[in-house]
Amino acid sequence: MNAQRAAWLFLTPALLVLGVFFLLPVIAALVLSLTDYDLYALADIRNLRFVALQNYWALLQRPLFWSALGHTVYFVAVGVPLSMGASLGAALLLNSPLARCKPFFRTALFAPVVTTVVATAVIWRYLFNTKYGWMNYALDGLGIHPVDWLGDPHWAMPTIILFAVWKNFGYNMIIFLAGLQAIPIDLYEAARIDGASAWRQFRHITWPMLGPTMLMVGILTVSGYFQLFAEPYVMTEGGPLQSTTSVLYLMYDEGFKWWNLGSASAVAFLLFIIMFAVTVLMLKLSRHRQHVDGEPA
Amino acid sequence: MNPRLAKALINGLLLGGTLVALFPLLWMLSVSFMPAGGASALPPPLLPAHPTMENYRVLFAHAGMGSYLFNSLLVSSAITVFSLAFNLMAGYAFAKLRFAGRERLFQALVGALVIPAQVAMLPLFLLLKYIGLVNSYAGVIVPGMATVFGIFLVRQYARGIPDELLEAARIDGAGEWRIFGQIVLPLLKPIMVTLAIFTFLAAWNDFMWPLIVLTGQEHYTLPIGLASLAREHAQDSELMMAGSVITVLPVLLLFLAMQRYYLEGLLLGSVKG
Amino acid sequence: MLMVGLAAGMPLLGSCAKPAIDSKVLTVWTVGREGEAILTLLPDFERAHPDIHVKVQQLPLTAAHQKLLTAFAGGSTPDMTQLGNTWLPEMVALDALEPLQARVDHSTVVRQDDYFASIWSTNMIDGTLYGVPWYVDTRLLFYRRDLLKAAGFDAPPHDWAQWRQMLAALSDPQRHGWGILLPTNEYEQLMSLALQQPDPLLRDGGRYGNFESAGFKRALAFYVDTFRLHQAPGITNVEAGNPWSEFGRGVYAFYLSGPWNIGEFRKRLPAAQQGDWSTAPLPGPDDSRTGIGSAGGSSLVIFRASTHKDAAWTLIEYLSQPTVQRRFYDLLGDMPPRRSSWEGGALRDDPKARAFREQLEKARPTPAVPEWERIATEMQLVAARAIAGELTIDQAAAEIDHRVDRILEKRRWVLDHPRPAAEHAR
């Protein structure tokens, strides 16, 4: 009895904070998305009306929502594989017995992760400056015409993807590295005795053994990349021609620029539903593949 | 493959990767010491011809960087202290104290992790508006005072505390608070350090929520101040680089000093619950 | 125990939000590039009023709208701000602004009859004055005098028929020459043409769109025809890249834009070319309506929640003095809203500013509804589809009305459910 009370006392502060400042707002967001909370309601709350699913319906008919979703999916679909590929590559290199000064390399490769997005975005904006940036200078050295990286609607998103990969790959690299170190050495030794090449060892030992880590990292990275906001906010302001306006950017503009909180909440919930669906899909697919592949390792 | 060649290849690739990872940061540092317009040249200069502290002087004297730095330190420290206290208590309770509905409550919390924080932001703003916390330090601090991730991390670690230790103390008549303070907390020290660094870095780098809830310059944190400057002074790249250095350097140094704890926490947090 | 600490700490942290009541500190927000200029004007003001200390906060243009609304929602508005006159109706709908008529009536500096009438009227919402114009903006024609002359035209066009004739003579898409640049993602150009028409853009007190009126269709047809006849390229301002150098190279003979471009062209075009370009009032549908355009710009407003309204008004009066407005023009090229400010300094004898001076007398305000920016944006999106040939003029006009009526739905409902004056949100 006394222990019960003690337990709840220990829990209360955290639960109170999470309940009042997270759970309650989430529920409120659902309610808000069913109303037309806007400028007029901000002026006088009696101007608030219940509109059921109209916000959602209107959003699904809005080209801007679809294009924002398209840009976000583009960012996720290209950015996540690139990012995870870079992480895995770096982890394999670091895990190689031939690599030297491992602690130094590990720290250096990880450093971008702890930096502030806004600050590094400012740097990248300048590295990719059309006139004086290093990127175009290097391309010029290779005889390639300068590219208007952040000013051209076709190049702005790829530039942001490159930035995100640079900024984030170190995080997953550490997780992959731990995963690689957990693979028993004797598996490789047995393979080597059988005369398996490095590629075959990777394909038949490393890859399957890393499978569960890969899935978890993939899910976390996908949901992180769906929340694209600060990068376009600082680097392109959502432009040019709204080519880098992400779903969250749309939510921010809709909510805090135009003060349509009802429809902005609907944007937030649609994003949540999409992220949830993608996660479930990834879990399903991985289970399906395991069945098809038969026994792992 | 020839082992010597393989060795050269692997280390060469690592060196190349390191160069890509560090070049932007080193270049930022170098440009921050260039006079205005010094970086706008072809080829882009690597090192300042005439190093100057002018950019830093301008930032602190005219652009309010000093107060942004102070705000960031204050807000991040406060979030770290509060959330450390609350998460430790809750994580310990979930790991070691018996109460009805413990597992189900914990699962519900972890389940809530799938909800992106941004869903809550719009009503949270309205909530804080009615409490009167918009455009105040508290508006940034209060919502960050407990995190599911932190509770999860502490619980994972605290499960390793032997039950016998706690039972023995109870038999000796120690109250739950004393057990927590004198036995549990010392054992949780490593995870405390880890969690503190994690929280501090996350609070320092946080962008979207402070951007929304802080409306006046006097409360801006460094990322918000820098983003605002970057929109206003897009062409003054040397000045912006100095601003980036001020924003990035504190967390980078903190990480370098404590990286062992940070990387451990990263791995602990990513283990499947 | 911890909860007690928390409960005690929260109000403490919250109290940091409001600066200590100090009657001498006046907080002023500026939007965009005006912030730097005001800083150079302030020392004189503070010397004349040692009891007032002005604290300027510069909002980037792209973040200003969000900052203003969240500041209002959070009850942390400054004492006064610069406010674009299309944003004014929004702030009035929120009941955020202080009415100013009484102060104007007692002022020896701010004299209503000295201001351009239409600019002044953009600050009147439902008969109440909420702002004092600070600078003005109207869109008109920049043209290449030498190219026109070479094609046999001695003067810029007065009406649309002449304009069309010149556009035809000056356009040669084969050789990459166009009559005019009308970026398809900017609404100001079509809006200026539409404001020349007798029909208002909204009807029934701003309840419905009026884009199917004969007047708007005429403006839309003229606008779209310019593209269909290959007299303007169907590109956005991003694809257009650097319009100044292209205008200089003769890619475009006309450019429909605002006052700040006088400074841009002076800065960007070589000295030898400065005699080749000039400005002209916007051609009208007929001769009687030449020089009618949009009345834009920014005003100075005081927030209702301010505790330093008298000090704020003192600053508004200072910034409204003709001598100060002339200095402001010299710093930025922002044109003054009062006639006496134009009677001296660099403005009086500047031939390139003359067309603006003329047009400002005839400028017309845009509809004073909070939704106007969204409406104009939608109008342009539909117009761009008409340019692309996806819609006829009639279809486009109907589509704009359809979208605008949907945007105005809430406004209609609010107007039809009048309420006793709302309690001030504070």
What digits encode the pLDDT tens for the residues C291-331?
Answer: 999 999 999 999 999 999 999 999 999 999 999 999 999 98
* Cβ separation C419–A44 shorter than 8 A: yes
Does residue C360 lie within any of the structural domains?
no
Q: Taking Cα atoms as reference points, which of C1, C7, C58, C52 lies closest to residue C28?
A: C58
Residue of chain C whose alpha carbon sits nearest to that of B122: C70
Residue C297: enclosing H or E segment and its boundaries? strand C296-302
* Domain total of chain C: 2
Interior CA angle at C134 toward C50 and C73, to 5°?
85
Nearest chain B Cα distance for residue A95, angstroms: 10
For residues A248 and A162, is the Cβ–Cβ distance under 8 A? no
Which residues from B are below 8 Å from C when comparing CB atoms? Answer: 78, 82, 85-86, 89, 125-126, 128-129, 131-139, 141-142, 145, 212-213, 215-219, 228, 231-232
Chain C CB contacts of A257 under 8 Å are 65-66, 69
Does residue C319 lie within any of the structural domains?
yes
Say how many C-beta atoms besides its own lie within 10 A of residue C198's C-beta: 9
Residue C54 scores a pLDDT above 90: yes
Predicted confidence (pLDDT) per residue in A234-260, tens digit: 888 887 778 899 999 999 999 988 889
Residue C177 scores a pLDDT above 90: no
Structure tokens at C373: 């920016």
Structure tokens at A35: 């109303």
pLDDT confidence of residue C61? 81
Chain C CB contacts of B145 under 8 Å are 6
Partner B, chain A 151-210, Cβ-Cβ below 8 Å: 166, 170-171, 174-175, 178, 198
Kindly state whether C16 is in contact with chain B, defined as any CB-CB distance less than 8 angstroms. Answer: yes
Reported as a pLDDT band with limits 50, 70 and 90, residue B271 is low
Does residue B34 lie within any of the structural domains?
no
Chain B CB contacts of C40 under 8 Å are none
**Running DSSP on this structure, what letter comes out for residue C2?**
H
* Domain total of chain B: 1
* Cβ separation C17–B219 shorter than 8 A: yes
Reported as a pLDDT band with limits 50, 70 and 90, residue A279 is very high
Does residue C389 lie within any of the structural domains?
yes
Kindly state whether B186 is in contact with chain A, defined as any CB-CB distance less than 8 angstroms. Answer: no
Domain that holds residue B245: 63-269
Predicted confidence (pLDDT) per residue in A168-191, tens digit: 999 999 999 999 999 998 888 898
3-state secondary structure of C133: strand
Q: Taking Cα atoms as reference points, which of B175, B159, B149 lies closest to residue B102?
A: B159
Does residue B35 lie within any of the structural domains?
no
pTM of the model: 0.86
Chain B CB contacts of A93 under 8 Å are 10, 13-14, 17
Reported as a pLDDT band with limits 50, 70 and 90, residue C332 is confident
Q: For an interface test with C, give the residue of B58, B77, B81, B135 to mutate (most C CBs within 10 A).
A: B135
Cα separation, C76 vs C70, in Å, equals 8
Does residue B163 lie within any of the structural domains?
yes
For residues B112 and B229, is the Cβ–Cβ distance under 8 A? no
Reported as a pLDDT band with limits 50, 70 and 90, residue B1 is low
Partner A, chain B 110-169, Cβ-Cβ below 8 Å: 112, 114-127, 142-143, 145-146, 148, 151
Q: In terms of domains, do C275 and C406 share one?
A: yes
- Integer-rounded Cα Rg, in Å, for chain A is 24
Q: In terms of domains, do C178 and C281 share one?
A: yes
CA dist C285 to A206, C160, C195, Å? Answer: 75, 5, 11
Q: In terms of domains, do C324 and C226 share one?
A: no
- Chains A & B: contacts with CB separation below 8 Å: 268
Structure tokens at A196: 């398996």
Q: In terms of domains, do C165 and C267 share one?
A: yes
Nearest chain A Cα distance for residue C414, angstroms: 7
Q: In terms of domains, do C205 and C222 share one?
A: yes
- Chains B & C: contacts with CB separation below 8 Å: 73
* Cβ separation A256–C410 shorter than 8 A: no
Residue C16 scores a pLDDT above 50: no
* Cβ separation A47–C414 shorter than 8 A: yes
Does residue C87 lie within any of the structural domains?
yes
CATH number where C215 lies: 3.40.190.10
- The predicted model gives C67-79 an average pLDDT of 91
**Mean pLDDT across chain C:** 89
Interface confidence (ipTM) of the complex: 0.90
| Ramachandran quadrant class, C249 (left: phi over 0; alpha: psi -120 to 50; beta: rest) | alpha
Kindly state whether C58 is in contact with chain B, defined as any CB-CB distance less than 8 angstroms. Answer: yes
pLDDT confidence of residue B68? 96
Of A38, A153, A240, the CB nearest to C410: A38
Residue of chain B whose alpha carbon sits nearest to that of A129: B40
Q: In terms of domains, do C125 and C145 share one?
A: no
Does residue B224 lie within any of the structural domains?
yes
Does residue C65 lie within any of the structural domains?
yes
Does residue B13 lie within any of the structural domains?
no
Kindly state whether C13 is in contact with chain B, defined as any CB-CB distance less than 8 angstroms. Answer: yes
For residues C98 and C302, is the Cβ–Cβ distance under 8 A? yes
* Cβ separation B133–C76 shorter than 8 A: no
Domain that holds residue C169: 140-293+368-411
Predicted confidence (pLDDT) per residue in C106-142, tens digit: 999 999 999 999 999 999 998 999 999 999 999 999 9
CATH number where B81 lies: 1.10.3720.10
Nearest chain B Cα distance for residue C305, angstroms: 15
Q: In terms of domains, do C127 and C20 share one?
A: yes
Residue B205 scores a pLDDT above 80: yes
Q: In terms of domains, do C286 and C182 share one?
A: yes
Predicted confidence (pLDDT) per residue in B107-127, tens digit: 999 888 889 999 999 999 999
- Omega prior to C183 cis, within 30 of 0: no
Residue B143 CB-density burial (10 A; 0-12 exposed, 13-18 middle, 19+ buried): buried
**Mean pLDDT across chain A:** 90
Q: Taking Cα atoms as reference points, which of C5, C401, C423, C2 lies closest to residue C203?
A: C401
pLDDT confidence of residue B141? 97
Residue C3 scores a pLDDT above 50: no
Reported as a pLDDT band with limits 50, 70 and 90, residue A277 is very high
Q: In terms of domains, do C197 and C73 share one?
A: no
| β-strand partners of C83 | C299
Q: In terms of domains, do C87 and C127 share one?
A: yes
CATH 1.20.1250.20 holds for A62-294: no
Q: In terms of domains, do C315 and C237 share one?
A: no
